Amino acid sequence: MSNPADLPSNLKYTASHEWVKTEADGTISVGITQHAQELLGDMVFVESPEVGRKLKAKEECAVVESVKAAADVYAPVSGEVIAVNGDLDSSPENINSDPYGAWMFKMKPDSAADVAVLLDAAAYQAVVDSEAH
Amino acid sequence: MTLKTTPLNAAHRAMGAKMVDFGGWDMPVNYGSQIDEHHQVRNDSGMFDVCHMRVVDAKGEGVRAFLRYLLANNADKITMPGKALYSAMLRPNGGVIDDLIIYFMTEQWFRIVVNAGTADKDIAWMKEQAATHAPGLTITSRDDLAMVAVQGPNARAKVWEVLPQTRAATEGLVNFQAADCGEYFIARTGYTGEDGFEVMLPKEKVEDFWYALNKVGVKPIGLGARDTLRLEAGMNLYGQDMDETVGPLESGLAWTVDLKSERDFIGKAALLANPPSKKLVGLVLLDRGVLRGHQKVVSAQGEGEITSGTFSPTLEKSIALARVPDGVQIGDTVQVEIRDKLLNAKVVKYPFARNGKAVVSL
């Protein structure tokens, strides 16, 4: 099970287990956390959102499926999808082996402030810990 | 509610298992990667804790005649000592109480292995029927026994490494045959589509047996891989692919139901009176996605439903068992509704994989 040291401190997180990385140009990359991939197990399928799709915060926008189960992925903030990671079509297992490298999609957020108020590593760890009890 | 545990619970935890609630039992779903465990069994050997399944001994004069009436398959088919038979046990209305395996040991002793979740109702039903039809029989739940399945092309050799004293008695076993080796009851059966043994032994010996197998290279395999292995092998799972609300003929079990002989059995009249309108077929998903239980199947002949679906590590495609209208044919393309989309799937004859290899043609 993960401990606080496993959570990269340069990322933001959501209570629904997405991570968010702010790039130099203000766009964000989104993936699912180590904790989420561990719960789901071996990934076998990723359904990405359409590029150009406008998303509202907390909207279901992608699906990851492991051998065991399917899980929805939610938009961390409102904004537009500007890219999806095509590598995951053929190698969904990258989410297991490198959860913080295997981004699923990139967005241009409507407001940088929305990103700033997402959970930091410590606050997300508290969410994970509370689910374990 | 406290979960039930098997005698291997501590061993699972020591081996890094991720534990889940499986029908009230605290069981390992995997010990790391479910896909690696799947391939381990197809290519080498793996061991499964199946202590939650129940061994039942039926003993006494007339046990064969009783089973001939109790079960949909015909106990008369097994005459070689140790030979096993897979059968459904039906309600009078034809619904499936459970699927089980019986072993013919002597004319006074048949051993029966039933599913975990249904064991109590199975035994209650057997005793109720015996009270009426064979009052001299004893039906005993063998709660003193544990069971481990060792499966894979190298599984038998590994068991012989650990239990060399059983080799002479088990080397000549044909598929679906068991030998009573004193403390160890060893059957050449399984739920993976691979060669191997299911070993029944005293509960207090099972942990040592488990670790001894691990020491000679047999890896522990969780329930996750058990499900993908059995589905690839085209084996039904009780509670998913059939239950008390459907008959065996609509559950892909016609091959186990003997309707031709004069023999009467519980549920026979209902099966004869209600010819099936649906059947169980295999599906392979042609589009990208994963088939899952309860997804709707759309065909030219009407709607059906997936009973079990998963990702097949051997085929690297998604596969399923589905109950569809009788008119659907092997080779047809049907649609499966997944998250409001209709995806194409090909109807195939299952099993999908056996003995390490894919056996469906696409």
Alpha-helix runs per DSSP H in A41-116: 87-90, 94-97, 112-116
CB contact under 8 A, B34 and A44: no
Do residues B315 and B352 touch, judged by C-beta distance below 8 A?
A: yes
Q: Does A34 map to a domain?
A: yes
Do residues B256 and B72 touch, judged by C-beta distance below 8 A?
A: yes
Exposed, middle or buried by CB within 10 Å (0-12, 13-18, 19+), for B283? buried
For residues B174-207, b (16+ Cβ closer than 10 Å) or e, as one string? eebbbbbbeebbbbbbbbbbbbbbbbbbebeebb
pLDDT on residue B361 = 75
B20 in A contact zone (CB under 8 Å) = no
Q: Which domain holds residue A46?
A: 6-131
Nearest-CA distance from B101 to chain A in Å?
A: 27
Do residues A75 and A58 touch, judged by C-beta distance below 8 A?
A: yes
Q: Does A56 map to a domain?
A: yes
- Which CATH number covers residue A67? 2.40.50.100
Tell how strand B46-49 and strand B219-220 pair up: parallel
ipTM score of complex? 0.86
Residue of A2, A63, A67 to mutate for B, most B C-beta atoms under 10 A: A67
Q: What are the φ and ψ backbone dihedral angles of B62, each rounded to 5 degrees?
A: 85, 15
pLDDT on residue A1 = 45
Instruction: Give the C-alpha separation, B331 to A121, whole Å.
Output: 52
Q: Does A86 map to a domain?
A: yes
Structure tokens at A53: 């799709």
What percent of chain A has pLDDT above 70? 95
CA-wise closest residue to B84 among B174, B152, B157: B174
Q: Does A47 map to a domain?
A: yes
B32 in A contact zone (CB under 8 Å) = no
Instruction: Give the C-alpha separation, A13 to A58, whole Å.
Output: 12
Do residues A58 and A20 touch, judged by C-beta distance below 8 A?
A: no
Q: What is the DSSP letter of A133?
A: -
Structure tokens at B249: 């003929």
Classify the C-alpha dihedral A35-A39-A45-A50 as positive or negative.
negative
Q: Quick one: how many helices (H) and strands (E) in chain B?
A: 9, 21
Q: Does A115 map to a domain?
A: yes
| CB nearest to A45's CB, from B33, B35, B288 | B288
- Taking CB atoms and an 8 Å cutoff, what residues of chain A touch B290? 44-45, 65, 70
Instruction: Give the C-alpha separation, B324 to B309, whole Å.
Output: 14
Q: Does A1 map to a domain?
A: no
B310 in A contact zone (CB under 8 Å) = yes
Instruction: Give the C-alpha separation, B271 to B253, whole Å.
Output: 12
Instruction: Give the C-alpha separation, A100 to A19, whole Å.
Output: 8
- Taking CB atoms and an 8 Å cutoff, what residues of chain A touch B224? 41, 67-68
Nearest-CA distance from A9 to chain B in Å?
A: 26
B292 in A contact zone (CB under 8 Å) = yes
CB-facing half-sphere around the CA of B137: CA atoms within 13 A: 27
Nearest-CA distance from B319 to chain A in Å?
A: 11
How much is the CA Rg of chain B, to the nearest whole Å? 20
Do residues B249 and B257 touch, judged by C-beta distance below 8 A?
A: yes
Do residues B175 and B355 touch, judged by C-beta distance below 8 A?
A: no
pLDDT in tens, chain B (362 residues): 799 999 999 999 999 999 999 999 999 999 999 999 999 999 999 999 999 999 999 999 999 999 999 999 999 999 999 999 999 999 999 999 999 999 999 999 999 999 999 999 999 999 999 999 999 999 999 999 999 999 999 999 999 999 999 999 999 999 999 999 999 999 999 999 999 999 999 999 999 999 999 999 999 999 999 999 999 999 999 999 999 999 999 999 999 999 988 999 999 999 999 999 999 999 999 999 999 999 999 999 999 999 999 999 999 999 999 999 999 999 999 999 999 899 999 999 999 999 999 998 77
Instruction: Give the C-alpha separation, B242 to B246, whole Å.
Output: 6
Structure tokens at B309: 């679906």
Q: What is the DSSP letter of A91?
A: -
Q: Does A28 map to a domain?
A: yes
Q: Does A62 map to a domain?
A: yes
Instruction: Give the C-alpha separation, B354 to B230, whole Å.
Output: 10
How many domains in chain A? 1
Nearest-CA distance from B287 to chain A in Å?
A: 11
Do residues B307 and B322 touch, judged by C-beta distance below 8 A?
A: yes
Instruction: Give the C-alpha separation, B41 to A20, whole Å.
Output: 38
CB contact under 8 A, A41 and B33: yes
